[in-house]
Structure 1
Amino acid sequence: MEGISSQALFAQLLLGLINGSFYALLSLGLAVIFGLLNIINFAHGALYMVGAFAALLGLKWFGLNYWLALLAAPLLVGLLGVALERTMLRRLYRLDHLYGLLLTFGLALMGEGVFRYFFGISGESYPVPDQLQGGLNLGFMFLPLYRGWVVLASALVCAAAWYLVERTSLGARLRASTERPELTQALGINVPVLVTTTYGVGVALAAFAGVLAAPIVQVNPVMGSNLIIVVFAVVVIGGMGSILGSIVTGLGLGLVEGLAKVVYPEASAVVIFLIMAVVLLVRPAGLFGKQT
């Protein structure tokens, strides 16, 4: 690392932490859906893209500001997810995981194709909100306010989701509804509503990540497909269905990726997949997954 300034190093680590925040949010949604519904949701990247477009089009067509978009886009995409779960995914719960993967992969291709047709692939920029423009001079580096907000918002949402699923009675009901649905239904709990709500919340997390990403990346129809493969690798490394594993692994691998860009830039594009290969050899269930 000789010749690399500390400012450049911290800048790359910040970039890695931002990427890790998106990895954590998206893999969290995937983990919630797989862990509670046993659906491998390949449409997650497309729904992340839809969330970003909802913010962009809401601003252009209705003057919807960023802060309202953070609430409205996840709600709209969550309702879309509810419709998908009730009309399509519900038929696949007792079938092999491959069927859910194929269906959601097809939905992702359809969604991407529709947005390509109407908006092209060049992409459009979304303005940073006025309250988060500028940055702070920390002495060792310059921290853009919006980048800092992305990390903070992602961490808060991830922590809230983990607490909800793992430490509340609602989370206990959700886990019981997926592990022993007949028994849970006999106790008076409406299992179908809980399952539908779970899928809606999972895809709403993807839309929330899309709105956070809109001012950083170009909003375009392929933004989700460019990210989803890496996110699946994060989920596999953390452990399929492990919420804590998805959060910790997403943030950690983002930092590793950022460090790799400084130390050995040529390996930065594949370092996550190399780590995945090693983890699968040593611990096939993932770092936080349950061994079977």
Structure 2
Amino acid sequence: MSLFLSQLFNGLATGLLLALISTGLTIIYGTLGVINFAHGALFVVGAYAGYTVYGITDSFVLAIAGGAAMSLAVGLIIERGLMRQYYSRPPEDQILVTFGIGIILVEIVRSIYGGVSLSVDVPAWGQGVAHIGSLIYPLYRLQALGIAAATLLLLYFILYRTSLGLIVRAGIEDAEMVNALGINVKRTFLLVFGIGAMAAGYAGMVDAPIVTLLPDMGHRVLVDSFVVVVIGGVGSFPGAIIGGIIAGVILSLTSIVDPAYSHVMLFVVMALVLILRPQGLMGQEGRE
């Protein structure tokens, strides 16, 4: 029972972090129609930038802010300098250019930090264990769960309780109509791409003390995030949260039996969702 509860908490923490990453991916695709294959690389950029800030300042809070800020800056540069030229291009062109951007970003990180693995120390306030009944659980993992949940709540507030969120959600439904109403859609698209990139970098640094930093770690995150988006529904913020939790719990609980089959089960669930509900659990028809 202790092992099951431990893995369940691991699954919730992993799931909420995946939801945070996938939120950025799904709002970029939902609003801009761009399948961003550089999203995993932005996760890597945020983690490594936060690692550098952490080493300089010895402040984990500043490290998270630094990782998010760097990913935001890179995302804004990508959108303004390149992606804006591809919104009207075929999807395969968008896939190729974002895939290429992702490779370039990863190789830049590799050239700066090398290909060796790096570790991020758990902050002082996250060291130790928490006692939950008979369960002894690492304190920082619980805190990471709380940080991810609080951030998702903040993003929910922005998307559903602010004028910016209204424009973004309207853009997901009909970008041409938003443009016809006199709203500067290009500026909104820039902001949306930046927010999506920032969410990936932010999650990268939050996850850094739990995982080992490697330049190629974004590939796994990218694949898992796409699975989350498919399960939850393209363009759906609640779907990203539900899909992330489902994916995290599946990955974690399956590892109890055999870690080699954890991703197999994840893809089995994705396949079942595509068969039974192609638009995803919370998606709308026409967005699949």
TM over 0.5: yes
Q: Does 1:131 align with 2:125?
A: yes
| Map of 1:33 onto structure 2 | 28
| Map of 2:216 onto structure 1 | 222
CA pair 117-150 structure 1, distance change in 2 beyond 3 A = same
CA contact (8 A) 2:7 2:253 kept: yes
Counterpart AA for 2:121:
P
Per-residue deviation, 1:266: 4.2
Name the CA distance, whole Å, in 1 between partners of 2:195 and 2:243: 21
Q: Secondary structure at the match of 2:4?
A: helix
CA contact (8 A) 1:134 1:145 kept: yes
| Map of 1:108 onto structure 2 | 102
Q: Does 1:191 align with 2:185?
A: yes
Q: CA RMSD of the aligned region, Å?
A: 1.8
Deviations 1:222-243 (A, max 9, x none): 1111221111111111111111
Name the CA distance, whole Å, in 1 between partners of 2:200 and 2:259: 28
**Of 145, 149, 156, the match for 2:150:** 156
Identify the range of structure 1 (93-102 vs 40-49) with the bigger mean alpha-carbon deviation.
93-102
Q: Secondary structure at the match of 2:137?
A: strand
Per-residue deviation, 1:142: 1.0
**Of 269, 278, 281, the match for 1:287:** 281
| Map of 1:45 onto structure 2 | 40
Name the CA distance, whole Å, in 2 between partners of 1:118 and 1:111: 11
Per-residue deviation, 1:185: 4.2
Identify the range of structure 1 (83-92 vs 184-193) with the bigger mean alpha-carbon deviation.
184-193
CA pair 121-176 structure 1, distance change in 2 beyond 3 A = same
Per-residue deviation, 1:111: 1.3
| Map of 2:113 onto structure 1 | 119
Per-residue deviation, 1:122: 2.2
CA contact (8 A) 1:47 1:203 kept: yes
Counterpart AA for 1:69:
A
Q: Secondary structure at the match of 2:36?
A: coil
| Map of 2:69 onto structure 1 | 75
CA pair 209-172 structure 1, distance change in 2 beyond 3 A = same
Q: Secondary structure at the match of 1:136?
A: strand
Q: State the aligned residue count.
A: 286
| Map of 2:242 onto structure 1 | 248
CA contact (8 A) 2:53 2:62 kept: no
| Map of 2:228 onto structure 1 | 234
CA pair 156-177 structure 1, distance change in 2 beyond 3 A = same
| Map of 1:209 onto structure 2 | 203
Name the CA distance, whole Å, in 2 between partners of 1:249 and 1:176: 22
Name the CA distance, whole Å, in 2 between partners of 1:181 and 1:217: 38
Q: Secondary structure at the match of 1:270?
A: helix
Structure 1 residues 248-267: aligned runs within 5 Å: 248-267=242-261
| Structure 1 gap ranges (5+) | 1-5
Per-residue deviation, 1:177: 4.3
Counterpart AA for 1:136:
A
Per-residue deviation, 1:256: 2.0
Per-residue deviation, 1:44: 0.7
Sequence identity, in percent?
36
Per-residue deviation, 1:116: 2.1
CA contact (8 A) 2:232 2:240 kept: yes
CA contact (8 A) 2:172 2:235 kept: no
CA contact (8 A) 2:11 2:249 kept: yes
Name the CA distance, whole Å, in 2 between partners of 1:56 and 1:123: 12
| Structure 2 gap ranges (5+) | none
CA contact (8 A) 2:45 2:70 kept: no
Name the CA distance, whole Å, in 2 between partners of 1:64 and 1:101: 38
CA pair 130-17 structure 1, distance change in 2 beyond 3 A = same
**Of 69, 83, 91, the match for 1:89:** 83
CA contact (8 A) 2:13 2:248 kept: yes
CA pair 11-179 structure 1, distance change in 2 beyond 3 A = closer
CA contact (8 A) 1:55 1:64 kept: no
CA contact (8 A) 2:53 2:66 kept: no
